[in-house]
């Protein structure tokens, strides 16, 4: 039998991809490194060459999920030729987490992974802010938005919304989440000095 030799980065990505599927189907706790090894078809020495532990593999999976997510959001923008408001709505409504990554998010919310969650949020928000800043700048060029700080506006907007709505950060009460959700359109309009009603799409489906 001929032994398949793959480039290190290719093998590493193969292991991460297998872990994503297994964490999503079996759950992180029930998935073993042996399960990952068997799925990829590699030896114990190979997997531990790339990842010292399952926790190390989880962190790599999370980092890759952020890279993939940002690439998906960039693709959404690249495919759009609409106005800044069109693109803003696309970014917001397209930012849903894939089902197979729910287990990964669940792991981030565990108390022992607080540091990992903070790093993941920081990288995600920093990457997303760059995309939103481009859209905000487009809006300024179109005369729809008015701000001298597109990037900083995006950073404040994304970090504020994330902190005030993420139940993994704090067990916010439903009434607090609803109160904040109802205020977001007006707050974003004020921050970007956008026309009234520009962000009403954020609350159109709340009653449902």
pLDDT one-digit tens code per residue, 167-196: 878 889 999 999 999 999 999 999 999 999
Q: 125 and 72, same structural domain?
A: yes
Lookup result for tokens 């068997």: 38
Question: Is residue 12 one of the residues assigned to a domain?
Answer: yes
Looking at residue 203, its pLDDT comes to: 85
Q: How far apart are CA 171 and CA 191, in angstroms?
A: 27
Q: Residue 69: pLDDT above 80? A: yes
Q: How far apart are CA 77 and CA 88, in angstroms?
A: 9
Q: Residue 59: pLDDT above 90? A: no
DSSP structure class, residue 196: T
Would you place residue 206 in the very low, low, confident or very high pLDDT band (cuts 50, 70, 90)? low
Condensed to tens digits (0 to 9), the pLDDT of residues 8-52 reads 889 999 999 999 889 888 888 889 999 999 999 999 999 999 999
User: Which among 79, 89, 81, 92 is positioned nearest to 198, based on CA atoms?
Assistant: 89
Question: Is residue 21 one of the residues assigned to a domain?
Answer: yes
Q: Which whole-number Å values give the CA distances from 11 to 17, 71, 108, 149, 168, in the listed order?
A: 10, 21, 25, 42, 32
Question: Is residue 195 one of the residues assigned to a domain?
Answer: yes
Looking at residue 1, its pLDDT comes to: 40
Q: 84 and 41, same structural domain?
A: no
Backbone angles phi, psi at 181, to 5 degrees: -60, -40
Looking at residue 92, its pLDDT comes to: 87
Q: 26 and 3, same structural domain?
A: yes
What integer is the mean pLDDT of 121-144? 94
How many structural domains does the chain have? 2
Which structural domain range is residue 21 located in? 1-52
CATH number at residue 144: 1.10.357.10
Looking at residue 2, its pLDDT comes to: 44
Q: 110 and 44, same structural domain?
A: no
Question: Is residue 178 one of the residues assigned to a domain?
Answer: yes
Q: 124 and 26, same structural domain?
A: no
Q: Residue 123: pLDDT above 50? A: yes
End-to-end CA distance of the chain: 58
Question: Is residue 207 one of the residues assigned to a domain?
Answer: no
Give the best-scoring range by mean pLDDT among 75-79, 164-168, 202-206: 75-79
Looking at residue 101, its pLDDT comes to: 59
DSSP structure class, residue 148: S
Q: Residue 58: pLDDT above 70? A: yes
What integer is the mean pLDDT of 190-204? 92
CATH number at residue 11: 1.10.10.60
Q: 169 and 67, same structural domain?
A: yes
Q: 73 and 162, same structural domain?
A: yes
Q: Is 81 exposed, middle or buried (0-12, 13-18, 19+ CB in 10 A)?
A: exposed
Q: 82 and 7, same structural domain?
A: no
Q: 133 and 34, same structural domain?
A: no
Would you place residue 7 in the very low, low, confident or very high pLDDT band (cuts 50, 70, 90)? confident
Q: 73 and 29, same structural domain?
A: no
Q: Which residue has the higher pLDDT, 127 or 113?
A: 127
Question: Is residue 208 one of the residues assigned to a domain?
Answer: no
Q: How far apart are CA 19 and CA 88, in angstroms?
A: 33
What integer is the mean pLDDT of 117-122? 80
């Amino acid at each position: 039998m001929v032994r398949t030799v793959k480039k290190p980065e290719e093998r590493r990505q193969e292991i991460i991809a297998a872990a994503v599927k297994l964490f999503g189907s079996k759950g992180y706790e029930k998935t073993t490194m042996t399960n990952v090894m068997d799925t990829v078809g590699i030896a114990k020495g190979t997997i531990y060459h790339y990842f010292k532990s399952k926790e190390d593999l989880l962190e790599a999976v999370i980092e890759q999920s952020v890279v993939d997510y940002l690439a998906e959001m960039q693709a959404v923008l690249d495919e759009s030729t609409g106005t800044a408001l069109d693109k803003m709505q696309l970014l917001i409504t397209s930012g849903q987490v894939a089902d197979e990554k729910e287990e990964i998010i669940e792991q981030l919310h565990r108390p022992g992974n607080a540091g990992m969650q903070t790093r993941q949020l920081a990288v995600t928000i920093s990457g997303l802010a760059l995309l939103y800043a481009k859209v905000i700048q487009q809006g300024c060029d179109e005369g729809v938005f008015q701000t001298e700080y597109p990037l900083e506006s995006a950073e404040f907007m994304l970090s504020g919304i994330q902190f005030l709505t993420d139940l993994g950060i704090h067990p916010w009460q439903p009434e607090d989440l609803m109160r904040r959700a109802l205020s977001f359109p007006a707050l974003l309009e004020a921050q970007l000095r956008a026309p009234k009603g520009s962000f009403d799409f954020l609350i159109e489906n709340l009653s449902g």
